[in-house]
Amino acid sequence: MAVIAAPRQRASRRPRMTFARRQALWGYLLVLPVSLVLLALVAYPFVYAIYISFTDRVVGNPGGWVGFDNFRYLARWSSFGRAVQNTITLVVVTDVLKLGLGLGLALLLNEPLRGRGLFRAAVLLPWAMPGFVAFLTWKLLLVPIGGGLNLVLNETGLMAVPEALGLGSNGIIDWLGQRSTALPAVIAATTWRGFPFWCISFLAALQQVPNELYEAAKIDGASRFQRFRDVTVPAIRQVVLVVALLSSIWTANSFEHIWIMTQGGPSDATMVFPVLAYFGMQSQRLGEAAAVSVALVPALLILVFVVTALVRDDD
Amino acid sequence: MASVPATTPRPRAAGPTQGGRAVEHRARRRPAAGSVGAYLLLAVVTVLLLFPVYWMLTISLKIPREINRVPSLWPQTVTLDNYRELLGERGFLTNLRNSTIVAGSVTLVSLFISSLAAYSLVRFRYRFRGLVGRLILFGYLMPTSLLFIPLSIIVARLNLGNSLQGLIVVYLTFSMPLSTWLLTGYFRGVPAELEEQAMVDGATRMGALLRIVLPLSLPGLVAVGIFTFTAAWNELLLALIFITSEDLRTVPLALQYLITGDVYRWGPIMAGAVLSSLPVVILYFAAQRVMVQGATAGSVKG
């Protein structure tokens, strides 16, 4: 009998719980696991990183509070200065290149061309490839001996151009090994890997533009440029902005492209924050290493804030 | 992280796309006037896109002499020796196995837990919902380079250092926000009316989730699963910090150790590059439609 009694009791209690409360309870229950993981593995380490950056912690010794000492040290440290410069250059130049290439190619692929599918597949490839593979391959393309780029330049006779610029001699240029070419080479590789994603995003946005808009504009006598400016640009502006912001955050914080191709060298010519932080950790000076990444937090927070305001939020 | 979708996706049916279905109206359009120029441009871009991939493939099939001493654009002698060396004496199968275990576990755990959370965020109204949503976006944008030092301390404290389990746990830092963020977008595209209908017909909340929402979001789950899997498969920085034993190295880790010596053995390295790209590239191309749509469609306000 108890078996029957129990559900009846519950049934009599149920009406007291409103629909809204039951909903809320379900909501909390289902969102709880992710919230716990995020608190434990993202929020807590984030706060912890900021705390460590204000201590002189080393491996094996938690150290003590040193205030802004680590940041004062960073301000005087030339490697850190290089990392700031390189990151800004890397982000700005790759963003511009990716925008130009991505948008240009997306506009082309949006035209009714034969074999468009094949070209699209070619665009997908660098995006689909693992990043470390892409950068390993680029390292191999750029090595002085046996590298694909030098070989192509030599075979086509174009080698004379970079050689005239003093970048190398005897058909050998060490693209990643000399200060003048290392950062441009890294930018080229990063752009190659990154712009297909921009192109794909733009293409998807372009295909959502109803063709009637173009037809109507044409009937009203709008020129090709006017149609681009007044129909295409408004339709993709949002996507461009979000993709550019996210891509900037990722490029600024990416580790593998630099680590695999140059490890920040030669003599800091391609040094960036994550690599510097990693070296700091290897030398066991955790306080300073944490400060390297934490120094970026204000800029990061601004970008996150902008992205949050931009992306769709249903209420 | 860069290969990961930028924005919240949404199934196509939900967007205002029907009227502008690309294929039909495009057929009606006249071919572009300057199409010769367009093809020329496309050809150049395609060569630039494909040459590195071609180089990777040919080097993996070349004999050492042809890689360094007498380089050529075409391999004169085609050999599988590089693959044999990599899989044989360099034990690359172990690395592939480790990566599969780590990326597979991370994907399964993330997909399961994230789909619960994403469903909750989309369907239920409660306090702190907005806050949790913000936290997820914040986690999605949080750079690994900011977290690795505290994570290394936490993992050491938990005694999980130098183990695949430890790596799986720390990979949740990026996989969880990623999959929750993307799944939220997919679930938004499933009309609430369908569920309500099912519940009127006697299904429970869970029943509606399992029988209505999950099947309808299956393409989304597949896409998010692939994104999560590749994010874990490609991760290098955390693996570099947390794995010290040779037999626990994941694929990216094993390959990066091959380029730290003085003499690079490019043949086996590129063989490894080919082998580690294959599963991911195949997944991307097989699921191409949902992937591209997942990466982009209907992602933003307005």
Going through A85-138 in order, the beta strands assigned E by DSSP cover none
Domain presence at residue B4: no
Determine the structural domain holding residue B71 and report its residue range.
12-296
Cα–Cα dist A233/A217, whole Å: 14
Tokens of B85: 């060396």
Q: Tell me how close the Cα of A79 comes to any Cα of chain B, in angstroms.
A: 17
A50 contacts on B by Cβ (under 8 Å): none
CB contact under 8 A, A250 and B237: no
pLDDT confidence tier of residue B54, bands split at 50, 70 and 90? very high
What's the pLDDT at A212?
A: 83
Domain presence at residue A260: yes
Cα–Cα dist B96/B109, whole Å: 20
CA-nearest residue to A203 within chain B is: B296
Query: Who among A137, A239, A303 is closest to B300 (CB)?
Result: A239
What's the pLDDT at B197?
A: 83
Mutation test of the interface with chain B: which of A54, A87, A118, A140, choosing the one with the most B Cβ atoms within 10 A?
A140
pLDDT at residue B228 is higher than 80: yes
Highest mean pLDDT pick, A208-222, B165-179, B195-209: B165-179
Mean pLDDT, chain A, as a whole number?
86
Domain presence at residue B1: no
Domain presence at residue A98: yes
Highest mean pLDDT pick, A86-95, A170-179, B68-77, B217-226: A86-95
Domain presence at residue A53: no
Query: Who among B6, B35, B116 is closest to A30 (CB)?
Result: B116
Query: Who among B42, B45, B145 is closest to A255 (CB)?
Result: B145
CA-nearest residue to B15 within chain A is: A208
Classified as helix, coil or strand, A208 is coil
Domain presence at residue A113: yes
Share of chain B above pLDDT 70, in %: 84
CB contact under 8 A, B172 and A249: no
Nearest to B9 by CA among B292, B300, B297, B301: B297
CA-nearest residue to A189 within chain B is: B52
CA angle B237, B238, B243 (to 5 degrees): 110
Asked if B119 reaches chain A (Cβ–Cβ under 8 Å), the answer is: yes
Cα–Cα dist A289/B143, whole Å: 15
In single-letter form, the type of residue at position B102 comes to V
Share of chain B above pLDDT 90, in %: 36
**Which residue, chain included where needed, has tokens 């809320």?**
A24
pLDDT at residue B3 is higher than 80: no
Tens-place pLDDT, residues B230-264: 999 999 999 999 999 999 999 999 999 888 766 67
CA-based Rg of chain B, rounded to a whole angstrom? 23
B269 contacts on A by Cβ (under 8 Å): 136, 140
CB A86 within 8 A of CB A182: no
Lowest mean pLDDT among A2-6, A213-217, B292-296: A2-6
Nearest to B220 by CA among B16, B21, B14: B14
Tokens of B150: 């505290």
pLDDT confidence tier of residue B1, bands split at 50, 70 and 90? very low
CB contact under 8 A, A131 and B3: yes
CB contact under 8 A, B149 and A200: no
pLDDT at residue B277 is higher than 90: yes
What's the pLDDT at A314?
A: 42
Asked if B120 reaches chain A (Cβ–Cβ under 8 Å), the answer is: yes
CB A276 within 8 A of CB A80: yes
- More confident of the two residues A114 and B143: B143
Domain presence at residue B291: yes
- More confident of the two residues B5 and A190: A190
What's the pLDDT at B8?
A: 44
Sign of the dihedral defined by the CA atoms of residues B82, B83, B89, B93, in that order = positive
Domain presence at residue B6: no
- More confident of the two residues B18 and A141: A141
A194 contacts on B by Cβ (under 8 Å): 2
Query: Who among A37, A129, A254 is closest to B172 (CB)?
Result: A37
CB pairs under 8 A between A and B: 351
A29 contacts on B by Cβ (under 8 Å): 120
Asked if B147 reaches chain A (Cβ–Cβ under 8 Å), the answer is: yes
b/e code B64-94 from CB counts within 10 Å (16+ = b)? eebbbeebeeebeeeeebbbeebbeebebeb
Determine the structural domain holding residue A205 and report its residue range.
69-310
Show which of residues 176-205 on chain B sit within 8 Å of chain A, judged by CB atoms: 176-177, 180, 188, 205
Domain presence at residue B2: no
Tens-place pLDDT, residues A151-168: 888 888 888 888 888 788
What's the pLDDT at B252?
A: 94
**Mean pLDDT over residues A63-73, rounded?**
87
CB A251 within 8 A of CB B143: no
CB contact under 8 A, A197 and B133: no
Tens-place pLDDT, residues A268-307: 999 999 999 999 888 888 988 999 999 989 988 888 888 8
Cα–Cα dist A243/B7, whole Å: 8
Domain presence at residue A14: no
CA-nearest residue to A256 within chain B is: B236
CB contact under 8 A, A286 and B149: yes
B148 contacts on A by Cβ (under 8 Å): 277-278, 281
Residues 6+ apart with CB under 8 A from A101: A191, A195, A198, A199, B45
- More confident of the two residues B210 and A247: A247
Domain count, chain B: 1
CB contact under 8 A, B3 and A200: no
CA-nearest residue to B275 within chain A is: A133
Mutation test of the interface with chain B: which of A136, A207, A258, A276, choosing the one with the most B Cβ atoms within 10 A?
A136
What's the pLDDT at B294?
A: 59
**Which residue, chain included where needed, has tokens 């907005």?**
B130
CB A67 within 8 A of CB A51: no
**Mean pLDDT over residues B174-189, rounded?**
88
A286 contacts on B by Cβ (under 8 Å): 149, 153
Tokens of A84: 């700031």
Which residues are registered as beta bridge partners of A117?
none
**Which residue, chain included where needed, has tokens 């006017």?**
A226
CB B267 within 8 A of CB B60: yes
Nearest to B297 by CA among B141, B186, B147: B186
Task: Identify the CATH number of the domain in which residue B242 sits.
Answer: 1.10.3720.10
CB contact under 8 A, B301 and A26: no
Q: Tell me how close the Cα of B289 comes to any Cα of chain A, in angstroms.
A: 11
Asked if B276 reaches chain A (Cβ–Cβ under 8 Å), the answer is: yes
H helical segments located in B61-202: 64-68, 81-87, 92-123, 129-141, 144-157, 164-188, 192-200
CB B55 within 8 A of CB B67: no
Show which of residues 127-146 on chain B sit within 8 Å of chain A, judged by CB atoms: 127, 129-130, 132-139, 141-146
Highest mean pLDDT pick, A193-197, B217-221, B297-301: A193-197
- Burial classification of residue A11, based on how many CB atoms lie within 10 Å of its CB (0-12 exposed, 13-18 middle, 19 or more buried): exposed
Q: Tell me how close the Cα of A137 comes to any Cα of chain B, in angstroms.
A: 6
CA angle B155, B129, B173 (to 5 degrees): 20
Residues 6+ apart with CB under 8 A from A308: B134, B137
Lowest mean pLDDT among A58-62, B131-135, B245-249: A58-62
pLDDT at residue A8 is higher than 90: no
What's the pLDDT at B149?
A: 92
Instruction: For the beta carbon of residue A224, count every other beta carbon within 10 angstroms.
Output: 10
Classified as helix, coil or strand, A65 is strand
Show which of residues 18-57 on chain B sit within 8 Å of chain A, judged by CB atoms: 19-20, 22, 25-32, 35, 38-39, 41-42, 45-46, 48-53, 55-56
B277 contacts on A by Cβ (under 8 Å): 129-130, 133
Mean pLDDT, chain B, as a whole number?
81
- Burial classification of residue B263, based on how many CB atoms lie within 10 Å of its CB (0-12 exposed, 13-18 middle, 19 or more buried): exposed
Q: For chain B, report the end-to-end CA distance as a whole number of angstroms.
A: 26
Share of chain A above pLDDT 90, in %: 36
Classified as helix, coil or strand, A143 is coil
Domain presence at residue A57: no
Task: Identify the CATH number of the domain in which residue A282 sits.
Answer: 1.10.3720.10
CB contact under 8 A, A277 and B148: yes
What's the pLDDT at A16?
A: 62
Domain count, chain A: 1
CB contact under 8 A, B141 and A304: yes
